[in-house]
Amino acid sequence: MSRISSVFEQLKAQHKTALIPFVTAGDPDPQLTVPILHALAAAGADIIELGVPFSDPMADGPTIQRASERALKHHVGLKDVLALVAEFRKTNTATPIVLMGYANPVEHMGYEAFAKNAAAAGVDGVLTVDIPPEESTGVADVFAAYGVDMIFLLSPTTPAARINVVAQKASGFVYYVSLKGVTGSASLDLAEVASHIPAIREHCGLPVGVGFGIRDGETAHAIARFADAVVIGSRIVQEIENSPREKIIENLANFVRGIRVAIDTK
């Protein structure tokens, strides 16, 4: 059983919902990434999504775009991201790490080389926004051979037939994009989000994580009532962007602890 599957099994037994925060590797600089990862885990993160900086992040809003730009100023590339994960793994072997990014850096490294290097570094899953399940034939098999879960996105407009395709290709969990738009978008309709989850569960047995538009404890608590995981990205990246460097770790930890309490409060 993968680290991701194990975490979800443990949380299910405890009747708890996973908390999955997102940060971009190298933001605000590479020296802070590993301390940030440790702070997120200590504050209650069950799984951590680590963004791979990319020059054209099409699914991301302005906040995460700026995070990529800050990381790229420090020349943080895919090899650097894997090295940061490996450093994190020296003292944390329990918290799953999911890389989130785009196909270009992975293709440049080569899918098998990437899967091998990612597994060696301690990466547990990969979500590449622009590799849809229909184009993942061969890729998913390579990742599976190295024990790396391949995670796919579902959206409010995903039809049942495509959910079935995702269910056949995905592992670890599926990521439901809770609204039409990019990361950091507002106007989250909780009732509408909740109405889509049963259809996903009908066709897919994997845990369902919900992200995009979750910005506070109240919303996280509401999502946790029907999702297996709550994913928070832009709001956390804003803490990094708006905090003095010496306060980033403290502010992130306080925010994530607050979200953890909100999720766990039934």
Q: Is residue 27 among the annotated active site residues?
A: no
Ramachandran class of 138: left when φ > 0, alpha when ψ lies in -120 to 50, beta otherwise? left
In this structure, how many other beta carbons lie within 10 angstroms of the beta carbon of residue 88?
23
Cβ atoms 196, 176 nearer than 8 A:
yes
**Measured distance CA(259)–CA(217) in Å, rounded:** 5
Residues 6+ apart with CB under 8 A from 65: 57
User: Is residue 105 reached through a cis peptide bond, with omega within 30 degrees of 0 on the bond before it?
Assistant: no
| Structure token digits, residue 81 | 């991201």
Q: Which of 49, 80, 124, 239 is catalytic?
A: 49
Tell me the pairing of strands 97-101 and 153-154.
Answer: unpaired
The answer to whether residue 87 is catalytic is: no
Choosing from 27, 60, 124, 239, the catalytic residue is 60
Of 132, 195, 194, 212, the closest CA to residue 168 belongs to 132
Instruction: Please give the positions annotated as active site.
Output: 49, 60
